[in-house]
Amino acid sequence: MNTRAIALSVLLTASMVPLANAEGTAKGAAAGAVVGHVAGGHAATGAVVGGAVGHHKAKKKEKAQAKQGEQQSSAPANTKDK
C-alpha cells in the first residue's frame, strides 16, 4: 500500500511539472515532497512549502544576476593607451 501511494504521488507530481511555469517551483516541490514523506507522511505539505521556497530562491537568484549584469554594463571600460 505504501509503495502504491509513493508511486502515485511521484506520477502526479511528474504530470504537473509542465504546469509549473515559475522558475524553481517544480524542483523545490519535488525536494519538499521527498523530505515531507521521510519526515512522517507529510509529502503534500512538503511539496507546497518546497515549491514556495524554490520559487523564492529562484527569484532572488534572478534579481542578483540582473543586478550584477547591470553593474557590469555600467562600469567604465579599461581603455588605457600605452
C-beta neighbour count of 75 within 10 angstroms: 8
Whole-structure pTM over 0.85, yes or no? no
pLDDT tens-place values along the chain, 82 residues long? 677 777 777 777 666 655 556 677 888 888 888 888 888 888 888 888 888 888 888 889 889 988 888 888 776 656 665 5
Grid cell in block for residue 36: 515531507
